């Protein structure tokens, strides 16, 4: 007697397997998409402008060689600035209208290639750029013809205009330059603060090299920045604060500009060097007072043994703890009306012995000894 087998389940099983295989094959099919070149690792790209006019080339890239010409339409969309600020917790400004131009609106990725010809973004003038603000130009892909689409995460590039600025500085190498400026009215009960100074060391000598000191007029709990404290390297910076002290990881090179930012957020002390977190320590909460500022050698009795051969510029004091982004964006200067900025001495006057407080809070310093002003090729900053 012949056995009769029911083949229907087997047929259905084979059909199901074929469906899965075909579906997987389709899922694995790869479609080329378009993105703005260079945005794979970040959408914020520096555009250094030393003098205007200056141009930057923007191109589009396909993820594979295209089989036919792909036309990309570009545009500058300043409405994207607020969205980008929200995305990165930034404080960027759209470049002023009329200060730039997109020289072409379209570019083509030729068949058999994967990179388009460039469109040029041209900065025409820096006249309306406000010192202390960081400007961006958002260049975005509006649409494409002949492609499968755009990679949304890389649709827009934000060109950060890094202006190369010249500045003056003062030479504090002469020990007789030492003095203490007492505020007419101290800022008291600051539970957070940020203190910043730009410095350039000409040379180090053995022993302690004192850079500056700020705090109460009676120096009950000062904040002191100095190099070469015993047990540290000569070019290693120490921050002595009310809650303790810390040495920098950075070893400072001579004839190089550095911005040092000292941040106290109420419990943690953090020292940044050129916008990067360098070192930190925990300290007990303490109300802070800003009533005096010393430049160069602290304490008159030690001028000659602990003086420093250096230049300084750009001293800023805030009544809040700045973020890393805020610090990085303000390395070359900030808007004098910035929220939380309580004193700002650019030291960019170029002559005389008065250092003006740019905030308008009336903390102008008339120094008892004549300042030695320096402006040379080293005094440049890219913001």
Q: Where are the domains of the chain?
A: 34-164, 169-382
Give the confidence band of 307 by pLDDT, cuts at 50, 70, 90.
confident
pLDDT of the residue at 157: 98
pLDDT of the residue at 16: 46
Q: Are strands 341-345 and 34-36 parallel, antiparallel or unpaired?
A: unpaired
User: How many CB atoms sit inside 10 A of residue 378's CB?
Assistant: 12
User: Is the pLDDT reported for residue 42 higher than 80?
Assistant: yes
User: Is the pLDDT reported for residue 5 higher than 60?
Assistant: no
Is 34-164 CATH 3.30.230.10?
no
User: How many CB atoms sit inside 10 A of residue 80's CB?
Assistant: 18
What is the C-alpha separation between 45 and 41, in angstroms, rounded? Answer: 10
Average per-residue pLDDT in the chain? 88
Q: Please provide the DSSP assignment of 260-281 as one string.
A: EEEEE-SSEEEEEETTEEEEEE
User: Is the pLDDT reported for residue 136 higher than 80?
Assistant: yes
User: Is the pLDDT reported for residue 280 higher than 80?
Assistant: yes
Q: Shortest CA distance to 211 belongs to which of 229, 231, 227?
A: 227
Domain with residues 169-382, CATH architecture: Sandwich (2.60)
Taking only the tens place, the pLDDT of each residue in 336-371 is 999 999 999 999 999 999 999 999 999 999 998 888
Taking only the tens place, the pLDDT of each residue in 247-263 is 999 999 999 999 999 99
What is the C-alpha separation between 73 and 68, in angstroms, rounded? Answer: 16
Distances (CA, A) of 108 to 34, 60, 118, 159, 374: 11, 8, 9, 21, 50
Q: Which residue has the tokens 């950060």?
A: 160
Do the first three CATH levels of 34-164 and 169-382 match, i.e. the same topology? no
* pTM beyond 0.85: no
Give the confidence band of 10 by pLDDT, cuts at 50, 70, 90.
very low
Residue 273 · residue 258 · CB < 8 Å: yes
Least confident of 95-109, 200-214, 291-305: 291-305
pLDDT of the residue at 300: 53
């Amino acid at each position: 007697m012949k056995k009769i087998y029911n083949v229907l389940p087997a047929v259905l099983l084979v059909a199901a397997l074929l469906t899965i295989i075909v579906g997987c094959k389709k899922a694995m099919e790869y479609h080329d998409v378009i993105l703005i070149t260079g945005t794979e690792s970040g959408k914020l790209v520096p555009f250094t402008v030393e003098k205007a006019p200056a141009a930057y080339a923007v191109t589009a890239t396909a993820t594979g060689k295209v089989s036919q010409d792909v036309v990309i339409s570009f545009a500058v969309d300043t409405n994207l600035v607020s969205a980008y600020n929200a995305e990165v917790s930034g404080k960027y400004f759209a470049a002023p209208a009329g200060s730039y131009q997109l020289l072409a609106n379209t570019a083509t990725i030729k068949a058999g290639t994967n990179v388009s010809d460039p469109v040029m973004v041209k900065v025409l003038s820096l006249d309306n750029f406000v010192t202390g603000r960081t400007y961006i130009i958002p260049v975005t892909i509006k649409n494409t013809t002949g492609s499968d689409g755009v990679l949304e995460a890389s649709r827009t590039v934000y060109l950060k205009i890094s202006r190369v600025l010249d500045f003056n500085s003062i030479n504090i190498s002469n020990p007789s330059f030492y003095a203490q400026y007492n505020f007419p009215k101290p800022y008291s009960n600051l539970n957070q603060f940020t203190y910043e100074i730009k410095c350039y060391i000409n040379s180090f000598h053995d022993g302690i090299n004192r850079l500056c000191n700020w705090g109460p007029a009676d120096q009950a709990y000062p904040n002191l920045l100095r190099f070469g404290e015993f047990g540290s390297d000569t070019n290693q910076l120490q921050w002595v604060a009310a809650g303790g002290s810390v040495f920098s990881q950075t070893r400072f090179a001579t004839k190089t500009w550095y911005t040092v930012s000292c941040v106290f957020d109420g419990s943690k002390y953090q020292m940044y060097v050129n916008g990067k977190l360098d070192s930190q320590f925990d300290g007990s909460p303490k109300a802070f007072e800003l009533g005096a500022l010393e430049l160069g050698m602290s304490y008159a009795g030690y001028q000659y043994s602990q003086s420093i051969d250096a230049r300084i510029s750009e001293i800023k004091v805030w009544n809040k703890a700045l973020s890393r982004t805020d610090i990085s964006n303000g390395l070359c200067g900030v808007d004098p009306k910035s929220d939380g900025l309580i004193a700002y001495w650019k030291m960019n006057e170029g002559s005389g012995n008065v250092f003006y407080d740019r905030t308008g809070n009336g903390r102008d310093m008339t120094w008892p000894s004549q300042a030695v002003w320096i402006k040379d090729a080293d005094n440049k900053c890219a913001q």
